[in-house]
C-alpha cells in the first residue's frame, strides 16, 4: 500500500447535509451517530443533515457534529482495510487523528469533544473574542505585529495554516489593531465568523478542567503515527499525549510545519477525511508544485468510491 496520511478537518468545515449519504448507506455510520447522540444528548443527525446552519455552527453542537462526520468517513475508508502510516487533524480534527491511531475509542472520542465544546462555549460567553485571517505575510512578520498589538489587549497567533495564511485570535480591539498593522504592511485581513477567540488566553479557564477530564479517559499508545498541532511532531507516550491535548486549547495550531514534516517523510497519498475541502485547499498551497504525491478528500459516497477505485 502507498504511504498514506489521513487528515481530519475541524471547525469551519461544516455544511448542512454533511455525512447524510454515508448515514443512509452504512449501518456502522448510523451506529456512530447514535453513540454520539446518546453521549451529547443532541440530535446530531438532524442538525448535520437538515440544519439550520446557525444551530449547527454553535460550538457546543458543532464539535460532536463534525467529529461524528469525521469518524463516519473514517469508518467508511477503514471497512476496506485501508490504513495510514500517520494521521493529523486541524484543531478539533486532532481527535479524529487520535481515533484513527487507536489512541482513544469511538465512545471516548465523542465524550472528549463534547466536553471540549462545552468548556470552550462557556469561556466564550465569559470573554468576547475575535479571530482574523491574515493573508500575505509570513509567520515572523505576523508574530512581530502581534507583539506590537499587545498594547491594545490580548492577541496571539491561533493557526499557522500555510506559509502566508495565518489566523490571529484574542480581544476584538487588539485583533483589529493587529489587522490594521498587517494591512499597513501589505497584507489582507479577513474577519472570521466565530463565536470565540479559540487558541487564545481568553479560553484559558477551560484548560485545567479539560486536563482533569482527560485524566478520566484511557489513552493507548498510537498504532500508527500522529503528528500534533502543538509541537508539529510525533508523540507516542499516552500521558504526554494527554498533556499535549490539554495545552492544544490555548496553543497555536502549527499546521504548516506539520504538513512540511509529513512531506519530508515522502508521503505518497494525503486523504482529507471529513466534511469540506479546507485542508485539501491548504495542502495545495503548502506542497511544492512538483510534489509527487496525490491528494484526495473523502466526505461522501462519490468521493469515497473515487478514492477506493484509485487505491484498492
Query: Mind listing the pLDDT tens digit for each residue in 63-99?
Result: 999 999 999 999 999 999 999 999 999 999 999 999 9
104 and 8 within one domain: yes
Cα 292 to Cα 243: distance, rounded to the nearest angstrom: 35
Which stretches does DSSP call E strand in the chain?
A: 4-8, 86-89, 130-135, 155-162, 165-170, 188-191, 225-228, 233-234, 269-273, 294-298
- The three three-digit cell numbers of residue 88, written as one number: 493529523
CA-based Rg of the chain, rounded to a whole angstrom?
A: 19
136 and 95 within one domain: no
Catalytic residue among 45, 91, 179, 200: 91
Strands 86-89 and 4-8: parallel
Cα 36 to Cα 113: distance, rounded to the nearest angstrom: 10
What is the predicted pLDDT for the residue at 1?
Answer: 76
Is 179 catalytic? The answer is no
Cα 301 to Cα 311: distance, rounded to the nearest angstrom: 15
Ordered mean pLDDT values, 10 residues apiece, the chain (312 residues): 94 96 98 98 97 94 97 96 96 98 98 97 96 98 97 98 98 98 97 94 96 97 98 98 97 98 96 97 95 96 96 90
CATH number of the domain to which 187 belongs: 3.30.70.250
In 3D space, the residue among 59, 38, 98 whose CA is nearest the CA of residue 244 turns out to be 98
Cα 12 to Cα 196: distance, rounded to the nearest angstrom: 13
pLDDT, tens digit, 9 for 90 and up, residues 33-45: 999 999 999 999 9
What is the predicted pLDDT for the residue at 301?
Answer: 97
265 and 156 within one domain: no
Q: Which of 176, 195, 214 is the last residue of a domain?
A: 195
Looking at residue 17, what DSSP letter applies?
Answer: T
306 and 159 within one domain: no
Cα 65 to Cα 42: distance, rounded to the nearest angstrom: 9
231 and 135 within one domain: no
173 and 133 within one domain: yes
What is the predicted pLDDT for the residue at 220?
Answer: 98
Neighbours of 159 (CB within 10 A): 25
Q: Are 113 and 63 in contact (CB under 8 A)?
A: yes
Q: Which of 150, 167, 195 is the last residue of a domain?
A: 195
Neighbours of 287 (CB within 10 A): 18
Catalytic residue among 121, 132, 152, 199: 199
pTM to 2 decimal places = 0.97
256 and 176 within one domain: no
User: Is the four-CA dihedral 233, 234, 238, 242 of positive or negative sign?
Assistant: positive
Is 121 catalytic? The answer is no
Structural domain count, the chain? 2
Looking at residue 217, what DSSP letter applies?
Answer: S
Per the structure, the complete domain to which residue 175 belongs is given by 128-195
Cα 169 to Cα 176: distance, rounded to the nearest angstrom: 10
What is the predicted pLDDT for the residue at 312?
Answer: 87
What is the predicted pLDDT for the residue at 233?
Answer: 98
Amino acid at each position: 500500500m502507498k504511504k498514506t496520511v489521513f487528515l481530519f478537518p475541524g471547525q469551519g468545515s461544516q455544511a448542512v447535509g454533511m455525512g447524510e449519504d454515508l448515514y443512509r448507506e452504512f449501518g456502522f455510520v448510523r451506529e456512530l451517530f447514535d453513540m454520539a447522540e446518546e453521549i451529547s444528548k443532541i440530535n446530531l443527525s438532524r442538525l448535520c443533515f437538515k440544519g439550520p446552519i446557525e444551530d449547527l455552527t454553535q460550538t457546543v453542537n458543532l464539535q460532536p457534529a463534525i467529529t461524528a462526520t469525521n469518524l463516519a468517513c473514517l469508518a467508511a475508508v477503514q471497512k476496506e482495510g485501508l490504513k495510514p502510516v500517520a494521521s493529523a487533524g486541524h484543531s478539533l480534527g486532532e481527535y479524529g487523528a487520535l481515533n484513527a491511531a487507536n489512541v482513544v475509542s469511538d465512545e471516548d472520542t465523542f465524550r472528549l469533544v463534547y466536553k471540549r465544546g462545552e468548556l470552550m462555549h462557556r469561556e466564550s460567553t465569559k470573554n468576547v473574542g475575535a479571530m482574523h485571517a491574515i493573508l500575505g505575510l509570513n509567520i515572523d512578520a505576523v508574530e512581530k505585529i502581534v507583539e506590537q498589538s499587545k498594547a491594545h489587549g490580548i492577541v496571539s497567533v491561533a493557526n499557522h495554516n500555510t506559509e502566508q495564511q495565518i489566523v490571529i485570535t484574542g480581544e476584538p480591539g487588539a485583533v483589529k489593531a493587529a489587522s490594521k498593522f498587517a494591512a499597513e504592511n501589505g497584507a489582507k485581513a479577513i474577519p472570521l465568523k466565530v463565536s470565540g477567540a479559540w487558541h487564545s488566553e481568553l479560553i484559558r479557564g477551560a484548560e485545567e478542567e479539560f486536563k482533569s477530564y482527560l485524566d478520566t479517559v484511557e489513552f493507548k499508545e498510537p498504532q500508527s503515527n500522529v503528528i500534533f498541532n502543538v509541537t508539529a511532531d510525533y508523540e507516542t507516550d499516552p500521558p504526554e499525549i494527554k498533556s499535549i491535548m490539554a495545552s492544544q486549547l490555548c496553543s497555536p495550531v502549527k499546521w504548516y510545519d506539520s504538513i512540511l514534516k509529513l512531506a519530508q517523510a515522502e508521503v505518497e497519498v494525503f486523504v482529507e477525511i471529513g466534511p469540506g475541502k479546507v485542508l485539501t485547499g491548504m495542502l495545495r498551497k503548502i506542497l511544492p508544485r512538483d510534489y509527487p504525491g496525490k491528494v484526495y478528500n473523502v466526505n461522501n459516497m462519490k468521493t469515497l468510491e473515487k478514492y477506493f477505485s484509485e487505491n484498492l
